[in-house]
Structure 1
Amino acid sequence: MDFDLPESVCDLLRKKQFVLDNLPRLEAVVSRYRELMDSLDPDVRILMKEAICKLETCLLPGTVSYNFSYIKLDSFLAQCNKSLDFFQGLLSQVRDVESLLDEEIEQINQVDLFDLQEESPKEDSLPGDENSPKSFEADEEQSATESTSPKKESPTKDPDKDQPTTKTESEEKLSPLQREDPPNSLSEGRPKTCSPTKESAPQTGTASEMTSSSDNAAAASTQVTPTVVEFVRKIEHRRNVAMETILYLVERMTPALKKIETLVYETNSGSSSEMVCYYERYELRLHASFVSLICCNLDRFTSLLLNSETPLFQVETVLQGNAPSVQPCVESIGLLLKQNMVHLMNGFKLIPRWIAGSCNRVPRLEVEHSIEKYIQSSFYEDLYNIPDIKRRLVVINQTVTRVCAALYKHIVTWNRYSELWLYNKEQVLNQNSNDTLYDYEDKMNYFSEIESELRLRLNDKCWVPVYCVRVNLFTLGTQIISLATEWKETIATNLIRTTRIKLTEYRDKLEAIDKGLEPLVIDVETFKNALQVIQDVNSMVLDTDLLQYDIINRNNALKKHSVQDLKCELNELTSSWQKTYSAANVKYLRILPYRDIFAKVSQQAVNQFLEKINDFLDRFYSEGPYSIPDDLVLGASFMVNYSTEFDTLNMEKTEKLLSEELFDLPVSDYKPYEEAYRVHQKLELIYSVYNKMQDQMIRWGQTLWCNLDARVLQLGVDEEVQTVKQWPHDIRSLAHCESLEQHLMGFKKSVDLFVKLKHEAMRERHWLELMNKTGTQFPMSPEVFTLSQLFDMNLSHFEHQCLEIISAAIKELNIENAIQDIVTTWTRDMILPTVVHVTVNCSIKNDVDSDDEDQTSSSSDVWKPLVDKSEEEEEHAYQLGDITPMLVIP
């Protein structure tokens, strides 16, 4: 419109356009600030609150009213972008250190505390030995120097990138736990064993994936399975290396946190109050990492104990003592595996805790008078009391117990061969020395089956898996095979020995037959002997055939089990038998013509023997023990002679029967003699009990009367009575048996009288009276008075008289006791029992009835042995009556 505007308005329009042109730059600064603030978590906000305050101080002028000074706007925007660049660079460095700390914690999670790989982990110095970077402390000093330099505008540049240093010789010799200055760059100083590379580290830390990786490693291992001691030592050795790695990683966290402190606050104390939240954050993450690490490793090891495809370790099985066992024993295996868990938890005693509000380790405390010189505050106490870890430790202990129980159960199954080592070979064979060939062959087959079964088993597979344990059966199987072979050879040796004993007995018999065929026949006896030998040879034909068949079978059994054969013994038996059999046939042909002559002589001898038997039977029934059933004493003396005669007649009878058989004579009738012999045998049974009872009475009779034990006598006689009652009726019906029963019952009654005669009332006068009744005399001295003297009295025949004497003695004892009471009263007390009269002032004598009773007793027959003593006491009473009146005046 071509209006002329004032200069001030035109200037304002120009500035407005300038502001509008720079408005996107302002919006970019605000947007960049918001993005940075939104990316901060609460802990980083607290950590970088001073940096945030500086940044906001720089941005604060943009919130006030604008004065339209475009020169100041350019300056303001440049200053804001510079502050934002510095804050972003500082935040980037902090996050780089955080990522490295997170990476270290992740590496701790991936540590294998049960490393079962074939090759042991590298135990040389940790990476960074060749070109070790500077320490965090040096890096922090360099950062502090650069913060004051003019190049502070670019804090993102790493000032140490081009400053590598080399390690000294003394530094190379230090272990990871002894190094004071960890590497500067966390990525360059990372341990090789825990590096999260594709080649060595697992991709995740879950228990299932760790299990699969360990199984693959175990499958790739060699076939040489370590022993349980080697297995535990290897795991503990590798775990020590792993714990050194963990300790190294934990110690690297302190310089990293100090570097953050240097970047943010330009200090290097490690105990900044503004970073307390950071210290607690990473200590808690470290604690959680340890919990996860222990739980994953324990779960994996528990799975390996029960479900491992390849055995973890092997044990040897041996026959030790009298039982199969493993080496080491099952208890030691369980103890070693459980101690391995203790070793795992004790490893965390090396990981120190941080001082509260700091990232510096707690210093060790020196302790006096203790096994451990120093006490270190570690993560062990907190980790051990976590319920998840405790529960897993209990599960592992239960799993170990389960594995040991299964191992013991497998070993116990070998006890089915226990008879091989529990029994003594010689003792068993001596007890079964009379076994048949079938028994021997059955035993050898049994041990051969054991031997072949075990050989086949060992050739196929000489070990068996029991969960994670490889049980090597070679030694035990070899020992049992050796025992089975020894048993088989011992049985075969015993079979050969018994066979040779049979052959020796048979050879001796043939030699006896050969000797019996040598004498010439000159009379009846020599003819009978020769004929008997020939008959024995004929009867041996079947036995010889059976013996040859038995030896052939024994030889076949021995050859079946590859043992020494009996071919030579069999040939010797055959030749000896043929020789003896031929000689017997020749002898028979030579004596055959004289047979009829000697047959007539033998018949005459048989007739004479029958007459002798008839005379003996007449004498046996009329004069022998059979004729005196009531007198057992005399019958016992006769039995000795008649038993001898019966034995002699039995021998002659056998000889005559043999003669009749040899000469084909008619068989004689010996029935009367056999009937008499059966009666004699019954009498022998009866008199054997009688003689046994007499022997017992002689033994009991040596006992003194004062040492009488009626129970022993009663038991002895009751035993014999019970024996007699068990005899059959044909024996008990004999009169001799009735006499024996009367004798036993009489002795039993005598024992009852012995008990009554032990009464204290019996005096010497009573025993004298008893001797007069029974007609016996013996001394009454206790040193010589024995039971044999009582046995001679036969008290059972004088039972009534004995009981009368005992009854009278008991009554006399009562009278003696009454007289003794009177004597005691007059000699000791000398006081008359009196009572006070009720009407007269005097006393009268009491207990007049007792005096009357004594006078009444003196008139009885029982009093007669005590007359003298009674008269003496009456005289004393009369004197007392003369001196002391019945009425006593006070």
Structure 2
Amino acid sequence: ILMKEAICKLETCLLPGTVSYNFSYIKLDSFLAQCNKSLDFFQGLLSQVRDVESLLDEEIEQINQVDLFDLQEESPKEDSLPGDENSPKSFEADEEQSATESTSPKKESPTKDPDKDQPTTKTESEEKSPLQGEGPPNSLSEGRPKTCSPTKESAPQTGTASEMTSSSDNAAAASTQATPTVVEFVRKIEHRRNVAMETILYLVERMTPALKKIETLVYETNSGSSSEMVCYYERYELRLHASFVSLICCNLDRFTSLLLNSETPLFQVETVLQGNAPSVQPCVESIGLLLKQNMVHLMNGFKLIPRWIAGSCNRVPRLEVEHSIEKYIQSSFYEDLYNIPDIKRRLVVINQTVTRVCAALYKHIVTWNRYSELWLYNKEQVLNQNSNDTLYDYEDKMNYFSEIESELRLRLNDKCWVPVYCVRVNLFTLGTQIISLATEWKETIATNLIRTTRMKLTEYRDKLEAIDKGLEPLVIDVETFKNALQVIQDVNSMVLDTDLLQYDIINRNNALKKHSVQDLKCELNELTSSWQKTYSAANVKYLRILPYRDIFAKVSQQAVNQFLEKINDFLDRFYSEGPYSIPDDLVLGASLMVNYSTEFDTLNMEKTEKLLSEELFDLPVSDYKPYEEAYRVHQKLELIYSVYNKMQDQMIRWGQTLWCNLDARVLQLGVDEEVQTVKQWPHDIRSLAHCESLEQHLMGFKKSVDLFVKLKHEAMRERHWLELMNKTGTQFPMSPEVFTLSQLFDMNLSHFEHQCLEIISAAIKELNIENAIQDIVTTWTRDMILPIVVHVTVNCSIKNDVDSDDEDQTSSSSDVWKPLVDKSEEEEEHAYQLGDVTPMFV
């Protein structure tokens, strides 16, 4: 189709040779020369068209081979663009070769002479006109994204030489220099992709002059919009589109494979302990975002590739846009490529792959939480809570943290990074931080062990100083002799404790030395010298006072006998006059318990002193069983009277409440709690008569609470309260401002339950009578409406029956009539007067 016109011209030239008629010799030679010249012209034209097409095919093939994810270590002169001296075969070189061939004697560029219908040779200036000056672009044109300039950021230094060995430090530094960070990795790819997109743009822009050259050769026009070449333009635009689709799909597939199956890591991340959790820098979310934005950058690069105007090979002009972020809008291949299903599917797969890599990275970081106790717990608080730990506990904890430290040091010395798919996770910083924390914990535990040991030594030293002071006074009487003898016995009893303490300190010192921590050798030497000094002084003191022991033993025996007589007198008084003798009177018993408790405390102190004297002087042990039995009885009585006193205190607090503010539920709960407490006591306590009296007291108060609720009835009047006061023998004012529960407690209503219930019952009946009389008063005084009806036989009216006029007659027969007799008689007199006046109305 493209060479149709040229073929027609060739056929026109060759067609006369097919006619069967005779040629003269002169005409035949001229015809043959013209045919040869037409054939040479057609062959030259066809050869040039094929050369241009091969160049176009080569450029499309170069586009297919562009790497949009260039991961090479070093790209030779990344900033060079196609057409430079370092770039591959340029289009100008091809054009030079094409121009040379076109100007050769065999293949001259034919053109049509307007004067003669014979092909002539084009001039040199006309030969170069289609492609002259189409050199490589030095930069992207205005309105396109600028290329990212490569930045060389130094890799972050991790760890310190004091924390790790020099070999691990050098290995970490080498790996850091070899593998870029994720930011450097993305910037590097984007920068190289920008260069690659400029290459693609340059190759695409070179296709327009090539197509124009074909148009010039075939149709002798240079518009780029020849109607005869529309199909030709569409063909190469479709091939460009298919090339872009293939390019994007291949690159996305290769990058997806690299993310999951790369033999060498693409980039590295640093692991650090940040806050209260191990993390990577940058964070996992930022890594996923950077990789996904890289895909957006890839697709946005095709916004640089302009589309051709329909029916031509000229680029669509940019449109200037006002009030917009972008100054120009360019019709590009981006919209068509982004909506291709294969590309969309691959973008989704890459997003899922990135998410998978980030999840694996996060899962690896989470595994370091097994050391979380190193940074989550406060050292001082934990050690204060475990201040009473044994040496075994301390040593076990120090061994645990030493194992962590050794394990991590060995791991970092062997390999301070781990691969997670395409990511190299640098563990150096995180490992050194955890080692530092483990060391701090170990040192803190050791410091606490030293502190507790020194506290024990201080306590022991204070005890030795007290013994030394106890040995200083002279023995002049029984008391000083007993004190000295007691101190000497204390020293003898400390021998085993001292040996155990020395053994414990030796073990603690060995544990500290094992972990290369400060030892306790000085403290151990001081302990040994102090104990030897005190023990020698005690032996010397014992030898000095030994001759006086028999004399002071007799004096002590006499004091013990006197104390036994004192106890016997006290026991007689306790059982005959004490609280044990009056189980029915809890009030008096509570007052006596105070004095007897004090006496028991004093006797217990004296008893302890006498037992000590008997032990010191090897005297026979006295029998204190009667006293101990009495003391046990006294303890039971203390328990009983403690509940009684508690109940009395609550009654005093409740008694301050006004009668109008009575809350019976509070009283009921309070007494029920004490009743439950008494019921939980053992049988030997509940069998005492005092406990029975306490139970009666609590149950009586509980009954009183029920009576309080009934006394709250609205039927109670002042006359009823006065009657209740007379029954109980108490008097108090009835004013609501001063009437409190304490006055009710003083009445002891539980003792007058029957009389109280009778008064309440009578009050309720009187209330019914009051209500009946009030109804009569309401009917005859306020309403004053008499029901009148028409007589059946006589032309007159009569008064209808009034049922309420006889209610005063029924009320007067009640047993509780007396308080209301005056009111009732007054209402009866009014009824009689009404009966006298009624006939006058009729």
Structure 1 residues 617 and 836 mapped into 2: Cα distance closer, same or farther (>3 Å)?
farther
- 1:191 deviates by 19
TM normalised by structure 1 equals 0.85
Q: Distance in 1 between matches of 2:149 and 2:183?
A: 30
Q: Which segment drifts farther, 161-170 or 603-612?
A: 161-170
SS of structure 2 residue aligned to 1:844: strand
Structure 1 residues 523 and 198 mapped into 2: Cα distance closer, same or farther (>3 Å)?
closer
Q: Distance in 1 between matches of 2:515 and 2:165?
A: 53
**1:392-449 Cα shifts (integer Å, max 9, x gaps):** 1111111111111111111111111111111111111111111111111111111111
Do 1:134 and 1:184's aligned partners in 2 also have CA atoms closer than 8 Å?
A: no
Do 1:110 and 1:201's aligned partners in 2 also have CA atoms closer than 8 Å?
A: no
Do 1:701 and 1:787's aligned partners in 2 also have CA atoms closer than 8 Å?
A: yes
Do 1:211 and 1:300's aligned partners in 2 also have CA atoms closer than 8 Å?
A: no
Structure 1 residues 595 and 171 mapped into 2: Cα distance closer, same or farther (>3 Å)?
farther
SS of structure 2 residue aligned to 1:840: coil
- 1:758 deviates by 1.6
Do 1:194 and 1:201's aligned partners in 2 also have CA atoms closer than 8 Å?
A: no
**1:649-693 Cα shifts (integer Å, max 9, x gaps):** 111111111111111111111111111111111111111111111
Q: Distance in 1 between matches of 2:74 and 2:226?
A: 45
Matched, 1:147 2:147: no
Do 1:117 and 1:221's aligned partners in 2 also have CA atoms closer than 8 Å?
A: no
**1:690-731 Cα shifts (integer Å, max 9, x gaps):** 111111111111111111111111111111111111111111
Q: Which segment drifts farther, 117-126 or 360-369?
A: 117-126
Q: Distance in 1 between matches of 2:620 and 2:644?
A: 42
1:79 is matched with which residue?
34
- 1:830 deviates by 2.1
Q: Distance in 2 between matches of 1:616 and 1:876?
A: 81
Structure 1 residues 139 and 331 mapped into 2: Cα distance closer, same or farther (>3 Å)?
closer
- 1:302 deviates by 1.0
Matched, 1:90 2:49: no
**1:812-835 Cα shifts (integer Å, max 9, x gaps):** 222223333333333433212345
Do 1:134 and 1:164's aligned partners in 2 also have CA atoms closer than 8 Å?
A: no
- 1:853 deviates by 2.7
**1:139-180 Cα shifts (integer Å, max 9, x gaps):** 99999999999998666999999999999999999x999996
Do 1:312 and 1:470's aligned partners in 2 also have CA atoms closer than 8 Å?
A: yes
**1:499-532 Cα shifts (integer Å, max 9, x gaps):** 1111111111111111111111121111111111
Do 2:307 and 2:316's aligned partners in 1 also have CA atoms closer than 8 Å?
A: yes
Do 1:270 and 1:360's aligned partners in 2 also have CA atoms closer than 8 Å?
A: yes
- 1:257 deviates by 0.7
Q: Distance in 1 between matches of 2:465 and 2:525?
A: 17
Structure 1 residues 358 and 693 mapped into 2: Cα distance closer, same or farther (>3 Å)?
same
Structure 1 residues 162 and 645 mapped into 2: Cα distance closer, same or farther (>3 Å)?
farther
Q: Distance in 1 between matches of 2:242 and 2:40?
A: 36
Structure 1 residues 860 and 499 mapped into 2: Cα distance closer, same or farther (>3 Å)?
same
Do 1:196 and 1:202's aligned partners in 2 also have CA atoms closer than 8 Å?
A: no
1:290 is matched with which residue?
244
Structure 1 residues 414 and 505 mapped into 2: Cα distance closer, same or farther (>3 Å)?
same
Q: Distance in 1 between matches of 2:598 and 2:151?
A: 113
Q: Which segment drifts farther, 808-817 or 693-702?
A: 808-817
Matched, 1:198 2:152: yes
Structure 1 residues 178 and 101 mapped into 2: Cα distance closer, same or farther (>3 Å)?
closer
Unpaired runs of 5+ residues, structure 2, are none
Q: Distance in 2 between matches of 1:688 and 1:197?
A: 86
Matched, 1:210 2:186: no
Do 2:471 and 2:487's aligned partners in 1 also have CA atoms closer than 8 Å?
A: yes
- Quote the sequence identity (%): 99
Structure 1 residues 589 and 85 mapped into 2: Cα distance closer, same or farther (>3 Å)?
same
- 1:846 deviates by 4.4
Structure 1 residues 183 and 704 mapped into 2: Cα distance closer, same or farther (>3 Å)?
closer
Q: Distance in 1 between matches of 2:299 and 2:629?
A: 99
Q: Distance in 2 between matches of 1:587 and 1:520?
A: 10
- 1:213 deviates by 33
Unpaired runs of 5+ residues, structure 1, are 1-45
Do 2:81 and 2:195's aligned partners in 1 also have CA atoms closer than 8 Å?
A: no
Do 1:261 and 1:270's aligned partners in 2 also have CA atoms closer than 8 Å?
A: yes
Q: Distance in 1 between matches of 2:144 and 2:420?
A: 40
Do 1:191 and 1:245's aligned partners in 2 also have CA atoms closer than 8 Å?
A: no
Matched, 1:483 2:431: no
Q: Distance in 1 between matches of 2:42 and 2:836?
A: 154
Q: Distance in 2 between matches of 1:319 and 1:720?
A: 58
SS of structure 1 residue aligned to 2:120: coil
Do 2:168 and 2:414's aligned partners in 1 also have CA atoms closer than 8 Å?
A: no
Structure 1 residues 84 and 658 mapped into 2: Cα distance closer, same or farther (>3 Å)?
same
SS of structure 2 residue aligned to 1:152: coil
Structure 1 residues 427 and 828 mapped into 2: Cα distance closer, same or farther (>3 Å)?
same
- 1:752 deviates by 1.2
Do 1:131 and 1:164's aligned partners in 2 also have CA atoms closer than 8 Å?
A: no
Q: After superposition, where does 1:238-249 map in structure 2 within 5 Å?
A: 238-249=192-203
Do 1:116 and 1:218's aligned partners in 2 also have CA atoms closer than 8 Å?
A: no
Q: Which segment drifts farther, 627-636 or 817-826?
A: 817-826
Do 1:136 and 1:259's aligned partners in 2 also have CA atoms closer than 8 Å?
A: no
Do 1:524 and 1:602's aligned partners in 2 also have CA atoms closer than 8 Å?
A: yes
Q: Which segment drifts farther, 464-473 or 862-871?
A: 862-871
Q: How many residues are matched?
A: 842
Q: Distance in 2 between matches of 1:792 and 1:363?
A: 110
Do 2:728 and 2:752's aligned partners in 1 also have CA atoms closer than 8 Å?
A: yes
Q: Which segment drifts farther, 82-91 or 405-414?
A: 82-91
Q: Distance in 1 between matches of 2:291 and 2:77?
A: 25
SS of structure 2 residue aligned to 1:73: helix
**1:280-330 Cα shifts (integer Å, max 9, x gaps):** 111111111111111111111111111111111111111111111111111
Structure 1 residues 191 and 129 mapped into 2: Cα distance closer, same or farther (>3 Å)?
farther
SS of structure 1 residue aligned to 2:175: coil
Instruction: Give me the CA root mean square deviation.
Output: 7.8
Please point out which of 803, 810, 825 is paired with 2:764: 810
Structure 1 residues 785 and 117 mapped into 2: Cα distance closer, same or farther (>3 Å)?
same
**1:480-504 Cα shifts (integer Å, max 9, x gaps):** 1111111111111111111111111
Do 1:142 and 1:159's aligned partners in 2 also have CA atoms closer than 8 Å?
A: no
Q: Distance in 1 between matches of 2:218 and 2:476?
A: 145
SS of structure 2 residue aligned to 1:113: coil
Do 1:111 and 1:293's aligned partners in 2 also have CA atoms closer than 8 Å?
A: yes
Do 2:379 and 2:444's aligned partners in 1 also have CA atoms closer than 8 Å?
A: yes
Structure 1 residues 66 and 838 mapped into 2: Cα distance closer, same or farther (>3 Å)?
farther
Q: Distance in 2 between matches of 1:327 and 1:114?
A: 23
Structure 1 residues 880 and 62 mapped into 2: Cα distance closer, same or farther (>3 Å)?
farther
Matched, 1:110 2:58: no
Do 2:791 and 2:798's aligned partners in 1 also have CA atoms closer than 8 Å?
A: yes
- 1:627 deviates by 1.0
Structure 1 residues 742 and 235 mapped into 2: Cα distance closer, same or farther (>3 Å)?
same
1:610 is matched with which residue?
564
Q: Distance in 2 between matches of 1:300 and 1:518?
A: 95
Do 2:299 and 2:338's aligned partners in 1 also have CA atoms closer than 8 Å?
A: yes
Q: Distance in 2 between matches of 1:210 and 1:87?
A: 81
**1:623-663 Cα shifts (integer Å, max 9, x gaps):** 11111111111111111111111111111111111111111
Please point out which of 82, 94, 97 is paired with 1:127: 82
Q: Which segment drifts farther, 139-148 or 784-793?
A: 139-148
SS of structure 1 residue aligned to 2:147: helix
**1:794-816 Cα shifts (integer Å, max 9, x gaps):** 11111111122222222222222
Q: Which segment drifts farther, 59-68 or 394-403?
A: 59-68
- 1:572 deviates by 0.6
Structure 1 residues 365 and 217 mapped into 2: Cα distance closer, same or farther (>3 Å)?
farther
Do 1:732 and 1:738's aligned partners in 2 also have CA atoms closer than 8 Å?
A: yes
TM normalised by structure 2 equals 0.89
Do 1:835 and 1:844's aligned partners in 2 also have CA atoms closer than 8 Å?
A: yes
- 1:59 deviates by 3.3
Q: Distance in 1 between matches of 2:677 and 2:127?
A: 105
Structure 1 residues 646 and 177 mapped into 2: Cα distance closer, same or farther (>3 Å)?
farther
- 1:76 deviates by 5.0
- 1:865 deviates by 1.9
**1:67-103 Cα shifts (integer Å, max 9, x gaps):** 5877766655554443333222212211111111111
